[in-house]
Amino acid sequence: MVWQKEDKYAYEAFLKKHKLILVFFIFLFICLSMRLFYLQIVMGRSYREVSEQQRIHNTYEHAPRGIIYSADNAVLAANEFSYVALFYPSERRWTMPDESIRELNKILGRNIKFTANKNWRYDTFVKLADNITIEEMFKIKEKELILKDISIIKKPRRIYYYPEVASHIIGYISEMRADEIEELLEQGYKIGDYIGRGGIEQSYNKYLHGKDGGWQTEVNAKGYKVKAFKYVPPEIGASVYSMVDLKLQKAAYDALKNSNTGRGAAVVLDTKTGAVKTLVSCPGFDANKTGTKDFGIYLKDKKLPFFNRSLQALYPPGSIFKIITFAAAVELLNVDTEKTIRCDGSFELGNRRYSCWYKPGHGEMNLISATAQSCNIYFYQLGLKLGIKNLEKYAKKFYLGQKTEIDLPNEKRGFVPGPEWKKLKSKVSWLQGDTVILAIGQGALLVTTLQMAYIMSAIANKGIYHKPYIVDRVVDFNGNEVYKHVLECVGRTDLFDRTWDLLHKALLEAVENGTGRRSRLSGIKIAGKTGTAQNPHGKDHAWFISYAPADSPEIAIAVIVENGGSGGLNAVPVGRKIYEAYFNVESEKEEQQ
């Protein structure tokens, strides 16, 4: 009996032990099954793609960038091509035969020396020769039986047809920088890709970039090439059609280049749409040389050829700001246009004396004549009557201190000062002296050339602001329109009709009999305002802003000649050259008195 009981206990222990083993194996089987399900079903597609990527290697052929056109379909930027000869090592052929090297040297007339390394892997290819001509490429193709291990790919090179003249509108391209790689790789770019810098090249880079092609090569488990089985042609980037009037662009650039300093900016806007017909910054640069040693010379040039003065440079507006003081005074002070103020050449405020630009004084000035002759004394007193709050309010009412949101990169917003800003910055209160200076566009007030063209276009439209734009449409490789600009009214300055009429009259008078008369054209009425902006860093800047034809405006212009001195003497002739090109007329040869 004792033994039977012991056998029973042993048998139960045996069953318990093996039951645990069985449970363990069942659990293991379930885990393995789940893992297999995860790998095969859940992650199968992903691993299959990884496997394909390891089996297939691409030898990339860079896509040419899209072509950039002017408004009249002139090509501003396109591509030239050369060819590159590549050798791709394989497990069976990791070096080129001597016969192939001799034949290649014979075709190219060069002495190509080839060195081999058995440790080459699939992510390496050997560049045998570049800058191969199309004739040499065809000769290599004819010798395919001998040169069967050589691949020929096209290498695009960006070419700009109007260097300097259109450099700041178009921009240029360069290879991705190290600090850009991480972000751009996520967007589908590859190390070694070129991207746009400045201008249209940067703003519309995603359209212009194109899609790379090349050879797809099958490699074995060791990573060596087995065969090349598919060629994917690169797809050129989309074509960009700009609104740039090439004739006006050339006229503006040449006029600025031949001005008394050779530095400045000019912007021409279509008053009905906001289209940028001209955007010039002088001096420009030759974008065809940005990949050469000349690039370093440009960077060191003290004239700053890469600096886009039309929308990046901030200048005091000087007397062209009197337009805004004028509008505020008519709106708020109900100025009697016939009432005069005497200008004796200077104005006293407290213990300080403020001068007029015309030292002998203009004599008796009313609102219209003071604007036409740009009399500081008259506008000092208007400024005092208005006060800083109203001047600041109307400056912002005309959208100063704000970006125009043009479709070009790196636009600056400018600055409108006020009592709160001065208190915060200098810990002192705003003074009446600050107000009289602001009334004539001096002090801490800063604007861009583009902003002043934008304002002048709005004045021509009695307060309606059209968003400036440089590109009208983008058309892809297949002829599909992938982008089209939509005309956009982005703001309005509401003034009484009387204010607009008086302002228009004063701007006409400024050209007919005032400081802007050097811009007069036979048969064309121009409304405009000159300015000479004091510059704490050197000689004064010369301004001229205008629109024409005055009675039915088509274009608005803003011109600044950096350190040019008098606006009437040095900025107005630049504007006149632009009008001559636009209207195809000759200017009156009359000297300013």
Provide the residue ranges of all domains of the chain, joining segments of one domain with +: 58-242, 246-286+307-583
> Which amino acid is present at 459?
I
Look at residue 593 in the predicted model and tell me its pLDDT.
34
What span, in angstroms and rounded, lies between the C-alpha atoms of 520 and 509? 11
pTM over 0.75, yes/no: yes
Q: What is the pLDDT of residue 20?
A: 72
**CB-based contact 322:378 (threshold 8 Å):** no
Q: Are strands 213-219 and 225-232 parallel, antiparallel or unpaired?
A: antiparallel
β-sheet bridge partners, residue 254: none
The reported pLDDT for the residue numbered 28 is: 80
Distance CA 59, CA 132 (A): 18
DSSP output for 357-387: SSTT--EEE-HHHHHHTT-HHHHHHHHHHH-
Q: Which residues have CB under 8 Å from 456's CB, separation 6+?
A: 269, 545, 546, 547, 556, 557, 558
Question: What value does the CA radius of gyration of the chain take, rounded to a whole number of Å?
Answer: 36
**Per-residue pLDDT at 55:** 53
**How distant, in Å, are the alpha carbons of 119, 180, 181, 510, 521 from that of 590?**
79, 55, 58, 15, 11
pLDDT at 10: 66
The pairing of beta strand 489-492 with beta strand 527-533: unpaired
For domain 58-242, give the fold. Answer: Penicillin-binding protein 2a (Domain 2) (3.90.1310)
- Look up residue 398 and give its amino acid: F
Give domain 246-286+307-583's CATH architecture. Answer: 3-Layer(aba) Sandwich (3.40)
The predicted structure's pLDDT at residue 12: 64
Q: Chain centroid to CA 71: how far?
A: 18
Q: What string of pLDDT tens digits covers the 593 residues of the chain?
A: 444 556 666 666 666 666 777 777 777 878 887 877 766 676 666 645 544 444 555 667 789 999 999 999 999 999 998 888 877 665 556 667 777 778 888 888 887 766 655 554 444 567 777 788 888 888 887 777 777 677 777 788 899 999 999 999 999 998 888 888 778 877 778 877 889 999 999 999 999 999 988 766 665 555 455 555 677 888 999 999 999 999 999 999 999 999 999 999 999 999 999 999 999 999 999 989 876 677 788 888 899 999 999 999 999 999 999 999 999 999 999 899 999 999 999 999 988 999 999 999 999 999 999 999 999 999 999 999 999 999 999 999 999 999 999 999 999 999 999 999 999 998 999 999 999 999 999 999 999 999 999 999 999 999 999 999 999 999 999 999 999 999 989 999 999 999 999 999 999 999 999 999 999 999 999 999 999 999 888 899 999 999 999 999 999 999 999 999 999 999 999 999 999 999 998 755 544 43
